[in-house]
Structure 1
Amino acid sequence: MALVQYSDSGSDEDPATDNRSVTATSPRPLKRQRTNRSKNIGDVSNAQANLPPLPSEFLDLYATNSRISVQDDPSLHGGRKRITPHVVGNWPTHIYLEWYPAAAELAILEDVISRSGQKLQNGLEIHSLLYSDLGAQLPLHISLSRPVALVTEVRQPFKELLKDAIRETDIRPFHVKTDGLGWVSNFEKTRWFLVLRVVKPRNNELNRLLAISNQSLAAFRQPPLYQKPGAPMDSRGKKRAGESQTQKSKDVPLGDYSDYFHISIAWSLTEPSVEDKERVGSTNLSKLKEVEVPFGSVKLKIGNSIHNLELPTRVLGEGGFFGL
């Protein structure tokens, strides 16, 4: 199962703890001043809560961390190692659906991660994917491709192909719900991720978008995200000997990978034991099951550029891309 390269773990600071510490050590005469300041902060927070959300295009501008080093230095990334070496002219590419949880949803996710970490034994440590090292909120996502590399000259053609495919489809903006916790690893089994399983949406949008992604990638000889046993492609996504190289993408059947889709919320460098997986899997997710995750566009990341490919809202007269 394919996963994108993630940012490092979130901040360890606890604002609530910091506020209590300040209150306990401040001189008594400043009590009224602190009360007024708290009221002002509350007023600002309420005002911010009433502001409309930032447009997706604005968030995309700041979604990529600046490069710290051109060398693979795991000490800069919480012990993580680069799987695919950097090659000049190759552009890391990823297709996915993005979710920025609201404040109430973040609180639920933080609680889920905290309680999951408490159930782990043998010193196993998990790192949150909710925040950056500086405390900024990070987006979560559902992958529609594995991390692949495109050469410079095909970046624009690939973007246009995927953009046209999404524009011509009849897939509309949709929601998904979560259903339980699980663990998945990257392809190389160098990291394990605590994930939220998702419920198959009513109109099968995830499988249909995955088919569009896989077929677009196949046009540029890139491997698919998921491949079930018996499929006609090898582990690198190349057609096996004897298979027609002229087979059209529309001839590829729509598979059901509903059990594979997930949203990663934390990661670990150590594989959890079977017992750890069972304990974490029993975590109560009653509050999280009420959350509906909205998706209105597909994200395409090529290098440090993120392109927002909106799902159409108009109804097409005939079938969409590849008849999906």
Structure 2
Amino acid sequence: MLSPRLFLAPLPDPAAHQGRIRAQPHVEGQWAAHVYVPIPLSGCPLNLRKLLHRLSKEALTGVPELYPFLEFDGMRLSSEKQEELHISLSRPIFLRAHQREGLKKAVKRVAHSSKRFQASFSRLTVFRNDEGTRTFLSIEVGAGYDQFRGLADGLTNILAYIRQKEYYTTPRFHASIAWALLSDRLHAPDIQRGSPLEEASATARPFPSVSCIPNSFIDRLEREFGDELRRVGRLDIDRVSVKIGKEVFTWGPAVSTYWGTPCSVFSLNSEECATIEAAPVALSHVF
């Protein structure tokens, strides 16, 4: 039997990605994907944009190891910089090539079966990724939670068909505004000992990292910015995106009306099942 190492593409240099490392090495013929709700900054209330700017600056002052996602003048940026907030509806997804169209159809159907709704943010909080390699400063959804839950639940069947984990049992929908490396990331439980991934990360030059973002610091940010965050107004949510590799596909509701009933749960038809289940490949170790 051939070693799985023969199927691995060259590992990216963590130095080119601000110390970030893959918890799952890239495999030839595998595509990383992610489903989320995009909220363009250009469409956010001016007060929210100003608040996020001040919040990001204050966060960097208190925790200099943070990298902001959002682009503001004079700030050191994450290499993942973006001009919109992202509210995740899925964990990271790993696809085989023939599964890409099936996932796109599923996300399109969920988007088309939804209705526009309004959402707002309720508090500042901190999350860790599943691999335990990064921590995120985030703003958590308040109003609109049930509608986000409906969208995420609509992806459950497609994720089961492609053998991927569904979103969390009790999800906490949020938009991350900055991240930092965790100092114990090389000992994270999801990084296999002795793997090429661990070898690459162990030889990378050190990057600034934190053991955590202290609760006392989050409490201080909440006291300073929390009330304003809850007052800045509601956001119109009217689209769902899926990023597959470097491509992003976005759809909105089929009918441009506001949310009245929960999003119908996605169900596969025979055509989509055929697309997803066609042509099994030899790289069974992908899953």
Whether TM exceeds 0.5 here: the answer is yes
- CA change 1:81–1:133 in 2 (3 A) is closer
1:182 aligns to 2:182 (yes or no)? no
Residue number in structure 2 paired with 1:194: 137
Residue number in structure 2 paired with 1:172: 115
The one-letter amino acid of 2:130's match is: F
Q: Which runs of 5+ in 2 are unaligned?
A: 1-8, 72-76, 182-209, 268-287
1:262 aligns to 2:262 (yes or no)? no
Cα deviation, 1:158-195, whole Å, max 9, x if unaligned, reads 2223323432x2x2111211111100010011111000
Residue number in structure 1 paired with 2:165: 223
Cα deviation, 1:228-262, whole Å, max 9, x if unaligned, reads 5xxxxxxxxxxxxxxxxxxxxxxxxxxxx3xx111
- Of 297-306 and 105-114, deviating more is 105-114
Residue number in structure 2 paired with 1:153: 98
Q: 2:15 pairs with 75, 96, 100, which one? A: 75
Residue number in structure 1 paired with 2:155: 213
Cα deviation, 1:183-238, whole Å, max 9, x if unaligned, reads 00100111110000111328x2111001012232112221112035xxxxxxxxxx
- CA change 1:134–1:84 in 2 (3 A) is closer
The one-letter amino acid of 2:16's match is: L
Structure 2: distance between partners of 1:100 and 1:166: 17
The one-letter amino acid of 2:176's match is: S
Q: Percent identity?
A: 26
Q: 2:221 pairs with 270, 276, 280, which one? A: 280
- CA change 1:136–1:227 in 2 (3 A) is closer
The one-letter amino acid of 1:86's match is: H
Cα deviation, 1:82-140, whole Å, max 9, x if unaligned, reads 222111111101100001113833322010122233344xxx52111102679975221
Residue number in structure 2 paired with 1:99: 39
* Contact 1:299–1:306 (CA under 8 A) maintained in structure 2: yes
Structure 1: distance between partners of 2:132 and 2:79: 28
Structure 2: distance between partners of 1:112 and 1:145: 26
Deviation, structure 1 residue 79: 1.5
Please give the secondary structure, in 2, of the residue aligned with 1:85.
coil
Deviation, structure 1 residue 307: 0.9
Q: What value does the CA root-mean-square deviation take over the aligned residues? A: 3.0
Structure 1: distance between partners of 2:89 and 2:143: 14
The one-letter amino acid of 1:309's match is: W
* Contact 2:91–2:167 (CA under 8 A) maintained in structure 1: yes
- Of 175-184 and 153-162, deviating more is 153-162
Count of residues in correspondence between the two structures: 219
1:87 aligns to 2:27 (yes or no)? yes
* Contact 2:121–2:143 (CA under 8 A) maintained in structure 1: no
TM-score, scaled to structure 2: 0.67
Structure 2: distance between partners of 1:319 and 1:100: 24
Residue number in structure 1 paired with 2:199: none
Structure 1: distance between partners of 2:11 and 2:266: 45
Q: Which protein is bigger by CA-based radius of gyration? A: 1
* Contact 2:150–2:262 (CA under 8 A) maintained in structure 1: no
Residue number in structure 1 paired with 2:193: none
Please give the secondary structure, in 2, of the residue aligned with 1:221.
coil
Runs of 4+ in 1 over 4 A off after TM superposition: 132-137
Residue number in structure 1 paired with 2:200: none
* Contact 1:112–1:285 (CA under 8 A) maintained in structure 2: no
- CA change 1:191–1:292 in 2 (3 A) is same
Deviation, structure 1 residue 266: 0.6
- Of 183-192 and 75-84, deviating more is 75-84
Q: Which runs of 5+ in 1 are unaligned?
A: 1-68, 229-256
- CA change 1:311–1:129 in 2 (3 A) is same
Cα deviation, 1:255-299, whole Å, max 9, x if unaligned, reads xx3xx1111001111212333333333332343321322221110
Structure 1: distance between partners of 2:262 and 2:51: 40
